[in-house]
Amino acid sequence: MIGAHYDSVFGSPGANDNGTGMAATLALARRFASAKPKHTLRFVAFVNEEPPYFLSGEMGSLVYAGRCKAHGDKIFAMISLETIGYFSDAPNSQTYPSPGLGLFYPKIGNFIGFVSNVHSRALLRRVIALFRKHAKIPSEGASLPAFIPGVSWSDQWSFWQHGYPAIMVTDTAPFRYPYYHSSNDTPDKLDYDRFTLVVSGMEKVIQELDK
Ligand SMILES: [Zn+2]
């Protein structure tokens, strides 16, 4: 399952958050439209990810994941595409939710991030290994306790609530993007070349996960 939220926070055009995740979902859906996958592939657009719905009973992905559970759907991988279009080569352009993480990860925001909770770490490792095999952009991954700020901040959280393995792909949004949740989150801020490398890499990941 590949999904992204299509709402944006009030007052923000939402080009990066989450126009990029939605555009990537549509592009990937088109790429696989005529494929004959072994597993069912679903591309889902979620409503109500942003406040005041975030982590509430009206969060679109939480409602959706609950129905998957009720139907007995066996989901072995959920990939949440969340704010994936901003990159920077400037020194100290990358920050982290805790100073400790900054010791282990790059200080330049030129990579794409893969984030999961501890329970989904096997899926995270597998996805990163596949991504690194094919993609032409640096990547970093972390399986962290869900309470660390940022780890739960998208639709992967909803699937965790129902016991499904789920990860988030992200440029780390507030920890890098100066226009996060602002009226300046506009299309001119995006790095379309690197954004494309992320989407192409994810296409290969999905192909290989299906094998
Ligand atoms: Zn978002």
The full 3-state SS of the chain, as one line of letters, equals CEEEECCCCCCCCCHHHHHHHHHHHHHHHHHHCCCCCCCCCCEEEECCCCCCCCCCCCCHHHHHHHHHHHHCCCCCCEEEECCCCCCCCCCCCCCCCCHHHHHHCCCCCCCEEEEECHHHHHHHHHHHHHHHHHCCCCEEEEECCCCCCCCCCCCHHHHHCCCCCEEEEECCHHHCCCCCCCCCCCHHHCCHHHHHHHHHHHHHHHHHHCC
CA of 154 from ligand 1 middle (Å) equals 6
Ligand 1 centroid from CA 38, angstroms: 30
- Tens of each residue's pLDDT in the chain, 211 residues: 999 999 999 999 999 999 999 999 999 999 999 999 999 999 999 999 999 998 889 999 999 999 999 999 999 999 999 999 999 999 999 999 988 898 999 999 999 999 999 999 999 999 999 999 999 999 999 999 999 999 999 999 999 999 999 999 999 999 999 999 999 999 999 999 999 999 999 999 999 999 9
CA of 132 to the centre of ligand 1 (A): 24
pTM reported for the whole predicted model: 0.97
